Structure 1
Amino acid sequence: MSGTQTSQKVEEQPFFKIIQDRRSVRYYDAEVKISREDMKEILQQAALAPSGANLQPWRFLVIDSQELKQKLLPIANSQQQVIEASAVIAVLGDLEGYTLAGKIYGMAVDAGYMPEETATSFVERYQGLFASMPPESVLRKVFIDSGLVSMQLMLVARAKGYDTVPMGGFDQAKFIEAFDIPERYAPVILIAIGKAVKPGHPTVRLPIEDVAFFNEMPKDE
Structure 2
Amino acid sequence: MTTTTKDLYTIMHERKSVRRYEPTFKMTQAQLEEIIKEATSAPSSSNLQPWRFLVIQDEETKKELRTIANNQEQIETSSAVIAVLGDAEMYKNVEKIYTQNVTEGHMDDTSKDLMIGNTHRLYPSLPLAVRQNIASFDAGLISMQLMLIAKEKGFDTVTMGGFDKVKFAERFELPENQFPIVLIAIGKSAAPAYGSSRLPLEDIARFI
Q: Shorter-chain-normalised TM-score: which range?
A: over 0.9
**2:195 match:** 202
Q: SS at 2:13's partner residue?
A: helix
After TM superposition, give the deviation of residue 183 of structure 1 in Å. Answer: 1.0
Alignment of 1:129-144 (within 5 A): 129-144=122-137
- Residue 145 of structure 1 is matched in structure 2 by 138
Tell me what 1:84 maps to.
77
Match of 2:115 among 122, 125, 138: 122
Matched, 1:179 2:166: no
TM-score (norm 1): 0.91
One-letter amino acid of the counterpart of residue 183, structure 1: E
Counterpart code for 1:49: A
What letter matches 2:38 in structure 1? Q
CA shift, 1:110, in A, is: 0.3
Structure number with the higher helix fraction is: 2
Q: Does 1:13 align with 2:38?
A: no
**Contiguous gaps of at least 5 residues in structure 1:** 1-9, 216-221
- Give CA-to-partner distance per residue, 1:129-181, whole Å, 9 cap, x none: 10011111111111100111111111111011000000000000110111111
1:93 aligns with 2:67: no
Whole-Å Cα distance in 2 between the matches of residues 115 and 150 of structure 1?
Answer: 31
Secondary structure of residue in 1 paired with 2:85? strand
Shift of 1:182: 1.1
Which residue is equivalent to 1:7?
A: none
CA distance in 2, matches of 1:84, 1:27: 7
2-side partners of 1:112 and 1:50: how far apart?
18
Q: Matches of 1:213 and 1:170 in 2, distance apart?
A: 35
Cα displacement string for residues 52-79 of structure 1 (whole angstroms, at most 9, x for unaligned residues):
1111000010001101101101100000
Question: 2: CA distance between counterparts of 1:179 and 1:27?
Answer: 25
Distance 1:47 1:60 in 2: 11
* Aligned equivalent of 2:64: 71
Write the distance in 1 (CA, Å) between the matches of 2:171 and 2:127: 28
Deviation >4 Å, runs of 4+: none
Q: Which has the larger radius of gyration?
A: 1
Q: What's the Cα RMSD here? A: 0.9
Please tell me the residue identity of whatever aligns with 2:153: K
Equivalent residue, structure 2, for 1:193: 186
- What is the aligned partner in structure 1 of residue 50 from structure 2? 57
Letter of the aligned partner of 1:181 in structure 2?
L
